[in-house]
Amino acid sequence: MEVLAYSLFSDFDISLFISGKHFRLYEKFGAHLTTHQDIDGVYFAVWAPNARSVSVIGDFNQWNKDSHPLNRRLDSSGIWEGFIPHLTKGEVYKYAVNGFDGVMVEKGDPYATKWEHPPKTASVIWDNDYTWKDKAWLSKRPKLNALNKPMSVYELHLGSWQRDPAAPKRVLTYTEIAASLVPYVLDMGFTHVEFMPIMEYPYYPSWGYQITGYFAASSRHGTPQELMFLIEELHKNNIAVILDWVPSHFPGDAHGLYHFDGTHLYEHADMRKGFHPDWKSYIFNYDRNEVRSFLISNALYWLDKFHADGLRVDAVASMLYFDFSRKAEEAATNKYGGSENLGAIEFLKDLNEAVYGNFEGVQTIAEESSTYPGVTNPVYAGGLGFGMKWMMGWMNDTLKYFKNDPINRKHHHHQLTFSITYAFTENFMLPFSHDEVVHGKSSMIYKMPGDEWQKFANLRVLYAYMFTQPGTKLLFMGNEFAQTHEWDFKNSLDWHLLQHPPHLGMQKTVRAMNKLYTSEPALYERSFSYDGFEWINADDADHSIYIYARKSSKAKDTLIVILNLTPVYRENYRVGLPFKGKWKEIFSTDAEEFFGSGKLNEKLMLPEKEACHGREYSILLNIPPLGAMVLKQGK
């Protein structure tokens, strides 16, 4: 077998690539099964502008570095390419790269669509052929996945959501996961699932956040087509799929992107800009056009070939600032002397314009912890262009408050009222993610104070607070039934806990809150607008009671939410009404089916013309201990 001259690149492709504007590079780079001169085989293309030579090695040539050298294009693109006849799907391969430094290295294909099962590190010749059957979902996705619709996200790690009970060390395949995950998510009422990174990664304890195979579904769970099947099954049940995506850094594994052609090609050569001190990984060089083309092509690839409905972009703050996790004197600066990474900012803007410009009904979500302004503003208005941003300040303040013994909460009342002062400056998602239940932070249930009953009551009211606040929602797997252990990526969730009433009650609570959230327009229609929220009483610190209204475009849909964050039962508590009307309790975390005490308001509550909370009319009601209740107009 010899390497034949052949190319998938036009001059226009090359022009787009080197200008940072080619966003479908997966159609050109990598290994493509094709026919050339009536011969079936594989076309290879790889970017290695500073390499002295590049060849394809694999079982087919006994890994001989001299056997199949690729041809360097005669232009300035730095692309090596060629067609090798008679190669077939399933062959393993790498690139033997004789680098600028004279060192020969064996690299996996940056655009490979499949890799060997770790710890093996070779790429695999594969395709993305799949006959999709989710046209109905895609046609209604722009409406269902819009910002004025409910978004309740179930975040999960595929390797530890469930394991094979007969062989606990074995992770399930994408197909096996589909069989149990789809009915579970449907039953629980979540609208979205979010998969922690499913792109190929070598080091399992990284949870997928240190990627080597950006274009490959992890072979730990099966083939790309099996992942497509999982996504399709979710779509058939109107469940949207968000993928965690990591354009912020990558590991230094010898077979990966690092020092790819004997130079700092994908990473920045200045290690103040190119090395992450916390994660011991390498930061992409966003100033380089070809790197931006690579990353944006990768984002579009998952939306295009895998029909993903959104991307949650990891560690955005680390991309925006050179001094992230660095002392000021150890950090680089931009050309104006500031700490902002101008290349990363332009990359993120290009990314979001490309995503929203090419796909209908998708969302990008920034995991962003800084105060950078306008993360969710449109690019044309000076923003970064994301659809949503994680509300990290809300999450930190909320957990800090709930860890307090209820007797002391009156001294920290502002920690739950403060977030509303900035809640509408961005399109916020409220997250209780995997990061909050690892590394000694304890599980959600053990963050709560008190005895067993109080812990569960606290957690129920915490979730009710989240589901009734402005913003979309995210809950990590296991949180919905009060997993007691911290998350362990090596083992299944503790599903056996559901045989115990408190845990079953917690699961029922989350199921009921999803139903409430998705059926009441006041809870989602104006998630990102001041028009959707109104304080009725934000000042009763002595009793640790919070009362607010959630509003939609129709007054009849208005909800009143009351939180009692002490274990004291409050009888005949007067609440001012946003307008005159009869009110009924439509939800309470204190219901006995939820493992509550059953102190409910079961009768219709009639308005009295007695001023309270600055309003003309009011009602008297009983507020359960460590409970949340939701009122709506009734008959």
353 noted as active-site residue:
no
Which DSSP symbol is given to 300?
Answer: H
Sign of CA dihedral 541, 543, 546, 547: negative
- In whole angstroms, give the CA distance from residue 38 to residue 202: 38
Given 314, 368, 480, 525, the catalytic residue: 314
- In whole angstroms, give the CA distance from residue 629 to residue 125: 56
Q: Are 370 and 321 in contact (CB under 8 A)?
A: yes
Joined tokens for residue 21: 């504007």
SS3 category, 356 = helix
| Residue 513, amino acid | M
Nearest by Cα to 93 from 131, 51, 135, 42: 42
27 noted as active-site residue:
no
- In whole angstroms, give the CA distance from residue 503 to residue 507: 6
Q: Are 358 and 382 in contact (CB under 8 A)?
A: no
Joined tokens for residue 523: 């809870």
Point out which residues pair with 217 in neighbouring strands: 199
Nearest by Cα to 627 from 573, 550, 554: 573
Nearest by Cα to 463 from 159, 188, 193, 195: 188
Which DSSP symbol is given to 278?
Answer: T
SS3 category, 352 = helix
**Residue position matching structure tokens 């109905």:** 136
- The 10 Å Cβ neighbour count of residue 187 is 11
Distances (CA, A) of 449 to 409, 459, 585: 11, 10, 27
**Residue position matching structure tokens 């917690």:** 506
Q: Are 505 and 593 in contact (CB under 8 A)?
A: yes
- In whole angstroms, give the CA distance from residue 532 to residue 265: 48
Phi, psi of 300 (to 5 degrees): -70, -30
SS3 category, 593 = helix
Q: Which residues contact 461 (CB under 8 A, 6 or more apart)?
A: 563, 564, 565, 589, 626, 627, 628
Q: Point out the residues that are catalytic.
A: 314, 367
